[in-house]
């Protein structure tokens, strides 16, 4: 069995080597895509080298013990270094397909920049028209993304505009479920794409939604129309439709909390003051990966708000807190696993 496994690994090693020579040196594609080879082949090479060393040790080949210890380390260093070099090379390359920003995106870019300068945390929500009139009879069972959602999600993220929608496998199950419940008609949706098709007037303030970008006109007393520019798919294809932009009217202030958000690279600074013990609901999903560093020596209580899963901060007097998301391969807190366990505990 062991011999069969080594034979299979040897065949894959030969294929990976052939791929490396052909695809990298001769610029030819030969079967498996580069991503699969690069992800699988390198660990296999490392495994073969280590197994060869064990074979040498078993055969009692007269090699210094230090040599056998150093070789795997050298292989690992070389393997890791080539990824670092590759990433640096990719970062220095000019993008082949630059994102063309529409009038609507440039308007939102200016609005959210002004909000940040005033200490306001604001988000945009993209609402798509689920069915065009000519396809109503088909009755799709699942929610599908339209060119409107695709185009503006790419544009807004490229323009550094905070948006509630996401196209990522990193969306937490709780955030995915809650937002789809609030802003959709209940049909299933792609797990990695948060698609919304209806406005919920009760949710924007808690989630930090300040602007609504819709594929269809919305009549609601809590929305102030800002613009209705022509919608061009991916910034260059005329569609004959419009992109309707609205501003959400702020709700009446029910608390005496004076609040400011500061944005410092990868950190969020929260400064607030109150006349007594108050609870502040921050429109950021609570996670075990969040770190909270008090700048004034106070010790606020940070918990997870139950209904929406947001970050709740209880404090008295003044608050000066720096929030940062920390998660990497080198951290030992297992924060994402703890988030998953929290989700399972809540779901049960």
Question: Do 329 and 217 fall within a single domain?
Answer: no
Percent residues over pLDDT 70 in the chain: 65
**Which pLDDT score is estimated for 138?**
55
The pairing of beta strand 237-248 with beta strand 290-294: unpaired
> Does any domain span residue 136?
no
How many domains is the chain built from? 3
User: What's the mean pLDDT in 196-223?
Assistant: 92
- Please determine, for residue 242, whether its predicted confidence score (pLDDT) is greater than 70: yes
- Looking at the DSSP bridge assignments, the partners of residue 301 are 314
Range from 27-41, 61-75, 80-94, 159-173 carrying the lowest mean pLDDT: 27-41
Both tokens of 124, joined, read 């945009």
Residue 19 near residue 37 (C-beta atoms within 8 A): yes
Q: What contacts 9, CB < 8 A, 6 or more positions away? A: 44, 47, 48, 51
> Does any domain span residue 98?
no
**Which pLDDT score is estimated for 291?**
92
Question: Do 13 and 48 fall within a single domain?
Answer: yes
The whole-angstrom separation of Cα 337 and Cα 176 is 17
Question: Do 227 and 269 fall within a single domain?
Answer: no
Kindly indicate the confidence band of residue 31, based on its pLDDT and cuts at 50, 70 and 90: very low
Domain final residue, candidates 215, 248, 281 = 248
> Does any domain span residue 212?
yes
Kindly indicate the confidence band of residue 33, based on its pLDDT and cuts at 50, 70 and 90: very low
- Please determine, for residue 89, whether its predicted confidence score (pLDDT) is greater than 90: no
**Which pLDDT score is estimated for 59?**
61
Q: What domain range is 210 assigned to? A: 103-131+141-248
Question: Do 85 and 125 fall within a single domain?
Answer: no
Q: Helical H runs in 129-257?
A: 147-158, 173-183, 204-207
Distance of CA 277 to CAs 252, 273, 310, 318, 328, Å? 20, 10, 19, 10, 35
Both tokens of 254, joined, read 């029910």
Domain final residue, candidates 30, 63, 92 = 92
- Please determine, for residue 229, whether its predicted confidence score (pLDDT) is greater than 70: yes
- CATH code of the domain covering residue 284: 2.60.40
> Does any domain span residue 269?
yes
The whole-angstrom separation of Cα 201 and Cα 183 is 10
> Does any domain span residue 238?
yes
> How does pLDDT run across 289-344, given as a tens digit for each residue?
899 999 988 889 999 998 899 999 999 989 999 999 988 766 667 888 888 888 88
Question: Do 80 and 179 fall within a single domain?
Answer: no
Question: Do 169 and 215 fall within a single domain?
Answer: yes
> Does any domain span residue 220?
yes
Question: Do 112 and 240 fall within a single domain?
Answer: yes
Question: Do 212 and 146 fall within a single domain?
Answer: yes
> How does pLDDT run across 245-291, given as a tens digit for each residue?
999 998 776 677 889 999 988 899 999 998 889 999 999 999 998 99
User: What's the mean pLDDT in 144-159?
Assistant: 88
Mean pLDDT over each residue of the chain, to the nearest integer: 79
Distance of CA 45 to CAs 1, 8, 16, 246, 288, Å? 20, 12, 9, 56, 36
Question: Do 124 and 240 fall within a single domain?
Answer: yes
> Does any domain span residue 97?
no
Both tokens of 39, joined, read 């992800």
Domain final residue, candidates 248, 266, 296 = 248
> Does any domain span residue 253?
no
Both tokens of 272, joined, read 């607030």
**Which pLDDT score is estimated for 29?**
46
Q: What is the DSSP letter of 193?
A: B
The whole-angstrom separation of Cα 265 and Cα 325 is 12
Question: Do 8 and 121 fall within a single domain?
Answer: no
**Which pLDDT score is estimated for 121?**
92
Question: Do 65 and 146 fall within a single domain?
Answer: no
Range from 103-112, 141-150, 169-178, 220-229 carrying the lowest mean pLDDT: 141-150
The whole-angstrom separation of Cα 97 and Cα 24 is 23
Q: What is the DSSP letter of 222?
A: T
Q: Is 105 exposed, middle or buried (0-12, 13-18, 19+ CB in 10 A)?
A: buried
Question: Do 61 and 150 fall within a single domain?
Answer: no
- Specify the pTM: 0.71
């Amino acid at each position: 069995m062991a011999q069969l496994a080594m034979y299979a690994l040897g065949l894959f090693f030969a294929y990976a080597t052939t791929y490396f020579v052909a695809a990298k040196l001769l610029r030819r594609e030969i079967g498996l895509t580069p991503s699969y080879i690069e992800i699988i082949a390198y660990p296999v090479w490392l495994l073969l080298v280590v197994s060869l060393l064990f074979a040498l040790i078993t055969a009692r080949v007269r090699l210094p013990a230090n040599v056998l210890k150093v070789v795997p380390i050298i292989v690992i260093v070389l393997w890791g270094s080539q990824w670092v070099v590759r990433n640096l090379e990719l970062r220095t390359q000019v993008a082949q397909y630059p994102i063309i920003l529409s009038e609507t995106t440039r308007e939102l870019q200016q609005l959210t920049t002004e909000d940040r300068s005033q200490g306001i945390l604001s988000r945009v929500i993209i609402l798509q028209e689920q069915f065009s009139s000519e396809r109503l009879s088909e009755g799709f069972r699942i929610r599908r993304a339209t060119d409107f959602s695709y185009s503006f999600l790419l544009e807004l993220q490229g323009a550094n505009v905070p948006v509630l929608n996401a196209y990522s496998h990193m969306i937490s199950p709780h955030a995915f479920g809650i937002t789809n419940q609030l802003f959709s008609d209940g049909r299933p949706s792609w797990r990695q794409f948060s698609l919304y098709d209806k406005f919920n007037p009760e949710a924007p303030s808690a989630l930090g939604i300040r602007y609504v970008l819709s594929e269809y006109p919305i009549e609601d007393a809590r929305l102030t129309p800002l613009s209705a520019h022509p919608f061009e798919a991916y910034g260059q294809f005329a569609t004959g439709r419009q992109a309707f932009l609205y501003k959400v009217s702020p709700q009446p202030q029910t608390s005496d909390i004076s609040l400011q958000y500061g944005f410092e690279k990868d950190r969020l600074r929260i400064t607030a003051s109150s006349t007594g013990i108050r609870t502040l609901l921050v429109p950021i999903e609570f996670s075990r990966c969040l770190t909270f560093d008090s700048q004034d020596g106070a010790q606020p209580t940070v918990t997870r708000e139950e209904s929406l899963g947001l970050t709740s901060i209880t404090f008295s007097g003044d608050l000066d807190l720096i929030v940062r998301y920390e998660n990497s391969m080198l951290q030992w807190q297992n924060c994402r696993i703890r988030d998953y366990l929290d989700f399972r505990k809540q779901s049960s």
